[in-house]
Amino acid sequence: MRVLLLALLVVAGLLLPVFLLLPSSSSTRSSEPIACTDGTSNCTLTNAFGSFPDRAICRAAGAAYPRTEQELVAVVAAAAVAKRKVKVATRHAHSFTKLVCPGGGEGTIISTRWLNRTVRVDAERRLLTVDSGVVLRDLIEVAAAAGLSLPHAPYWSGVTIGGLLANGAHGSSLIVTPAPASQGFAVVRDLGEDHPDLDAAKVSLGVISQDTVTLELQPLFKRSVTFVTRNDTDLAEQVAVWGHLDPRRKVFYRKDDRVDVSTPGDGLNDYLFLRSYAKLGVIAARVADEWLEEKGGDLARCLMARLPTRKVEQEAFGFTGYPVVGFQHRIQAAGSCIDGDGVALPKAPAFVGDVLRLRDLNPRAFGGLDAKLGVLMRYVRASSAHLGKAEDSVDVEVIYYRSYTDGAPRKHAGVVDELEQMALRKYGGRPHWGKKRNFAFDGAIAKYPRARDIVGKGCAFEGLCVCSDDSHCAPGKGYFCRPGKVYKEARVCVFDGDGRRSHGAVDEL
């Protein structure tokens, strides 16, 4: 069973609740994201986070759950006849953005939940064909049983292969698109590796209904994974190679190399932040976050942040048998819970230098990020997809607290907002299609030259705008729109008022 341990730390005269979560057989697995009040009509769609950036409900006139190619074609044809917008939703709905919504309450959502068959395994040609709704975890296990490996994949094993292809993976695909009446209003198209339209189908953002996907795999191989902790004095230079920035002036470097299959080891990636956790523990952690936002000072936040960071160091991010050697299908992705901005690589050193400068101005302002493991940097190859990254890039990711209350201030929100605007504007970064807040997509389409080839108050705190007026922040609570501290063209909400002492604890150190 999961056990919830509650400790109390005395920090600057304050009682700080600290919640330590231990593994459990209980689960916080994703539930069905589509809910309809009348069979498959009058539907709403949510995501695994329970909220979209604008906090509004995503509605659709109807939902469809095809199980075969024929049923999928029929759904697309019916939508084409009715002139309804169509979007595709996956089993776990892990996208934060609202791109999945089919335009108001008149559209149709197609779920790939039951498009989950392994169609064909050709071990000799190293080809695997599956339905688009097959999740990565099942796919890599089927491939491994045939002595094959999928060489590239995201961290989370709950993503579907259709979602992978829609976000820039390689392979070939059978897709269903609208068609003229002479073709029955919908047609199945076979996009092979050399098909000129495949680059448009990649990163399709859910507007293309995929039927089956064929992937070319590699012979089964092993990987060796080791984590190295160093200071950050040369991080700006090293980021062109690798890096994970921790605001405590430490960097976690992950050394990840292929090794011969005869190398001993059967390691497993059970990433700490993708594990199953008891609901009570999740609620307790949220209560602690809210307490820190309302009453905790910066020192308390920084001290609390040491606990998850120490756990990560001790457990090597969740890899077992450390230092780890294991087969690709056990190492490449994790997600026992289901049982960023991209900066061009040549610009990454200068961007990291600016991040370090911002951190050095007030290290405690980064305490909230430290508690969520700092700044994660991942490396992404250039893609030929029309909406993919045009050059090798570093994806930069931070996780931060968000209030349940619309427009509520966040402590040191200006730090996160300046990081985000600096990456997107100063360094020409491209937003992650599935994770960013609304304002990040303002003008984003101009960063994709081939895109043309494809078929109030408190808004700054919600990511719905970049502040240009104090009303976009929370002036009544002392938060005003100000220039960034390093990137002066940034516009961020900053606490600036004599009422500071009446809003929670004050750091004395």
> Is this structure's pTM higher than 0.85?
no
Instruction: Say which residues have a Cβ less than 8 Å from residue 424's Cβ, sequence separation at least 6.
Output: 341, 430, 431, 440
CA–CA separation, 488 and 255 (whole Å): 36
**How do the pLDDT tens digits run along the chain, 509 residues long?**
232 222 223 333 333 333 333 333 344 444 678 999 988 999 998 887 777 888 888 899 999 999 998 998 899 899 889 888 888 888 877 777 787 788 777 889 999 889 999 989 999 999 999 998 898 889 999 999 999 998 887 777 888 888 777 654 434 455 677 777 888 777 777 777 777 777 766 666 655 656 788 888 999 999 888 877 778 888 787 776 654 445 456 777 778 888 888 999 888 887 776 766 666 767 777 777 787 777 777 777 777 777 777 777 777 777 777 678 888 888 887 765 554 667 888 888 898 889 889 988 988 888 777 777 778 787 877 877 777 788 888 888 887 778 778 888 888 888 889 988 998 989 988 888 777 788 888 888 778 777 656 546 677 887 767 888 888 898 988 999 999 999 999 999 999 865 343 333 333 22
Domains along the chain with CATH numbers: 34-111 (3.30.43.10), 118-219 (3.30.465.10), 223-436 (3.30.70.2520)
Beta bridge partners of 4: 21
Sign, CA dihedral 397-354-370-419, equals negative
Q: How far apart are the C-alpha atoms of 77 and 323, rounded to whole Å?
A: 53
Those residues with Cβ within 8 angstroms of residue 181's Cβ, 6 or more apart along the chain or in another chain: none
Contact in structure between 194 and 95 (CB atoms under 8 Å): no
DSSP 8-state symbol, 198: H
